[in-house]
Every structure is written in structure tokens, then in C-alpha cells.
Amino acid sequence: MRFVKILILYVMLPCLAFATEDDFYTMTYNKNTNILNSFGVHTSFMTSIADDEKAQRIRDRWQYFVQRFAQSYEFIPTLRNMIAKEQIPQEFLFLAMAESEFTLNAKSSKKAIGIWQIMPATARGLGLEINEYIDERKDPIKSTQAATKYLKYLYESTGEWYLAAMAYNCGLGRLKRGIEEAGGDSRIETLLDDEAQYIPAETRNYIRTILAMSLLFNDVDFLKAQNADYLLNRGATDSIASVDVKGGISLSAIAKSAKIPLSELQKYNRHFTRSFLPPGNKRYNVYLPYDKLRTFKQNFNEKHHAQSVFVTHIVQKGESLSTIANNYKIPLSELKAVNNIKGSHISINQKLTIPKLKGKTATIADGR
């Protein structure tokens, strides 16, 4: 019990000097116990990370994590509600923090992408669309649906939420191998043994980070003491809205209808890789600030925005962006905007999307 009190004091930061150790412990212990129980973790586990070095690293990064949490407040209410609906512990919200720091277009060296850091094969297996126009791993809603589905599968396969979190990070096969190496012992304190190294160091630190963040962000008195109690209200109400829009329409047309800058719309919709929705008759969810929903509905007329006809051009030897633009009678700036090309370099066999309207040039960049 003494070790638990020491860790909580370390993790919860030294600036609570106004409170005695016993007062602080009484204030937080019950909530901390509930949080640990939601993961299937006994409070005695806390002894395994109650050392100065690890506690100090968590403490040093506290302000940074608060900043990332605050900057991502638009999505947090929706994600939290989705997790709760699937009867997954709310603390798994911090799995996303540990994975990507809530960055929609986060990308790892292993090609995992999005706030939930989903690998391409796993994403496709979970029904997410990935192609040259869209990567739904960057879609905050659809990627969360996929992640919760995968977490439930991992929980059913392992029987404990902390094991599901481990498997999410290192893979189910790697976790099972670690448990076998531990003689079938799947207790968290065994698997996180730094000397035995039954699971990768990245996964051991990953689990500690999730638990530490859960303790920090669920403590009302602590947040108030840090002048971070505004975070308590960020999550109470939805701050993003989803609108259903037909494919082929430019993002700039949608932004104009909502009366927001294109850059702001793109911030919410990193899953679209071009300046327009994927071509075709399929409809797509586009995310807006909730307070702009009425404005969008008042101004947006889908029929008014002419649907583009798209053709694919494969770059041949000797071609340049200028010659291709001239051949298709479209502005060079238009060709570059549609294909998200910043400079002038293109490669042989590269696929370019060419937008054209019936009988005239498409104006994807400005939404006309």
C-alpha cells in the first residue's frame, strides 16, 4: 500500500505541495482503484512502476500531454461516447494518446497511420477504405469504429483488457509468445518485468503510459490544481458534426458553404488525400465544426455544384505537368491542386487524376 501511495504522489506531480500525502491519497485512492479495476489490474501492480526514473519521465511529459489533449478536444467527446457505447473502458481513450498523441495523420515507421495507428492489412480487414483518394485510418470516426471492433476481438482472445491493450501494441501472436515464455503467467507484473523482457520494451512502457495518463486525467482535484479543469468540460458536448456529401465535390465548395477556411475543413478531414471527395456516386462523411452545421445546410446545394468527371492519366516518358495540363486543356495550378503536388516533379508511370466537366474545364481548386 505504501508503494501505491508513493507512485500516485510521483505521477500526480510535486505542485500539490499544499496537500499532505495522506490527504492526497484519501482524495484519489478510490478513483484510482476503479480505473485500475476497469483494466483488470490489481492495485498492487503499481509497485512495479514506482521508481524514480519512470515516474520522472511521466511527470516531465505531463504538460505536453495536456497540450495535446486540449488541442484535440474537437474529437474527444465523440470518441469517448463511441468507446462507452461498445462497453470498452473509457481509459482506452488514452491508448489513442499513447499511440498517436491524437494526431489524425500520424504515421509510424512501420506504416501504421491515424490516431489509432492501424496497419494497412489490419485496416482493410476491419473494413476501412484505403486508396489513392481516401485513407479511412485518418477518419476519426471510422477509425475509432475499427479500433473498438479490434479491441473487443483482442479482449475476447485474451480475457483481460490490459492484455488486449498489450496485444494492440505488439500483436496478439507476440503477446501469446511472451506469455508462453513466462510459463503461462499472464499477470501484468510478470509481463512488465524489465529484466525478463517477456514482451517488447515499447509495449511495457506503452501500458505504463496509458495507466498513468488515465490516473492523471480522471482526477478532478488534480486538474483543478493544475489550472487544467477546463478539460473537464471538453468532452461534455459534441463539437464536430458529420454531413453526407456525394463523391466528386471539392472540399473548397464545402468549406465555402460552411463559411470556414479550407485549411480548417482539411484539419477535420485528413482522410481525404485530394482536394475533392473521391469520384463516383458513393457518398462520404465530411466533418465540420458543430457550430457551422446550420450555416452549411443553409448554403450548400449539392445539385448546384457540378459533378466532375475524372479520368486517370499515367505519366509517360518525356511528359511534364505543363504538357499534361495543356493536353487536357486544364490550368497547371488546377492539375497540381487536384493531385496535391507542391512542386513540379512527376515520375514515369505515376497516376494523375484529371478533373473535367462535360464540355469544359473543372474548377476543383476553387469549388466553382
Give the per-residue pLDDT at 4: 36
Altogether, the residues listed in the chain come to a count of 368
- The answer to whether the beta carbons of residues 217 and 193 sit under 8 Å apart is no
Residue recorded with cell 491515424: 114
Give the per-residue pLDDT at 53: 55
Residue 367 or 245, more confident? 245
9-13, 135-139, 167-171, 326-330: segment of lowest average pLDDT: 9-13
State mean pLDDT over 325-337.
86
pLDDT digits over 62-121, tens only?
677 777 776 777 788 888 889 989 999 888 888 888 888 888 889 998 899 999 999 999
Give the per-residue pLDDT at 364: 41
- Which domains, from first to last, does the chain contain? 2-232 (1.10.530.10), 246-299 (no CATH), 309-361 (3.10.350.10)
Q: Is the pLDDT of residue 171 over 70?
A: yes
Q: Which of 313, 333, 308 is nearest to 324 (CA)?
A: 313
Neighbouring residues of 235: CB distance < 8 A, sequence distance ≥ 6: 73, 76, 77, 80
Q: Is the pLDDT of residue 54 over 60?
A: no
- In sign, the C-alpha dihedral spanning 48, 53, 58, 59 is positive
Residue recorded with cell 480487414: 125
Residue 238's pLDDT band (cuts 50, 70, 90): low
